[in-house]
């Protein structure tokens, strides 16, 4: 887990990634990988949509379900996406044709935090036209 924590990029002004301690200390770290060229439907070896290979979307859906379920069971998790995926893949021996997409530490939280403020629906939901 220390090696995986070493792949995390610094995303904060203080030079730390807030997920570093969780990756190091959680009893379990789930690393979600995707097999390239399989997601979103392919025709003649090319993605069938204008979005390309949907592996990021598919893995994100699976991980969101995992995080929501874990939270409902009293477990603590955090989506970790700001890391060197190639380095993480090398550490874990991920084979060619697969890529590391996301990590999440999983365990019982040592503290319970209050929910962060959320945007109102009027800030994120639009009707008929974007921005209205």
Q: What pLDDT, in 10s, does the model give residues 68-84?
A: 999 999 999 999 988 99
Give the position of tokens 């989506």: 79
Mean pLDDT of 88-92: 97
Average of per-residue pLDDT values in the chain:
88
Q: Is residue 129 scored above 80 in pLDDT?
A: yes
Q: Could you report the per-residue pLDDT of 23-70, keeping only the tens digit for each? A: 999 999 999 999 987 776 767 777 677 766 788 888 999 999 999 999
Phi-psi region of 28 (alpha: psi -120 to 50; beta: other; left: phi over 0): beta
Q: What percent of the chain has pLDDT over 70?
A: 93
- Asked whether the beta carbons of 40 and 47 are under 8 A apart, the reply is yes
Question: Of 31, 39, 23, whose CA–CA distance to 63 is shortest?
Answer: 31
Q: Which of these ranges, 6-10, 23-27, 43-47, 119-123, has the smallest mean pLDDT?
A: 43-47
Quick one: average pLDDT of 112-123?
88
Query: What is the rounded distance in angstroms from the CA atom of residue 93 to the CA atom of residue 64?
Result: 24
> What is the reported pLDDT for 80?
92
Element (H, E) at 55: helix 55-72
Ranges assigned E (strand) in the chain: 28-35, 42-43, 46-47, 76-77, 98-107
| Residue 11 pLDDT grade (very low, low, confident, very high; cuts 50, 70, 90) | low
Q: How far apart are CA 91 and CA 101, in angstroms?
A: 14
Q: Would you state the structure tokens that stand for residue 30, as one six-digit string?
A: 């789930």
Domains and CATH numbers, the chain: 2-124 (3.40.109.10)
């Amino acid at each position: 887990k220390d090696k995986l924590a070493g792949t995390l990029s610094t995303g904060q002004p203080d030079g730390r990634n807030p997920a570093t301690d969780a990756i190091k200390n959680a009893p379990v770290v789930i690393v979600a990988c995707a097999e390239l060229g399989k997601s979103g439907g392919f025709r003649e070896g090319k993605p069938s949509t204008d979005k390309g290979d949907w592996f990021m979307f598919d893995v994100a859906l699976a991980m969101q379900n995992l995080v929501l379920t874990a939270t409902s069971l009293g477990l603590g998790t955090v989506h970790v996406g700001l890391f060197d995926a190639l380095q993480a893949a090398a550490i874990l021996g991920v084979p060619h044709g697969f890529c590391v997409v996301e990590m999440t530490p999983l365990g019982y939280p040592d503290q319970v935090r209050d929910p962060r403020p959320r945007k109102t629906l009027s800030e994120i939901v639009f009707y008929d036209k974007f921005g209205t």
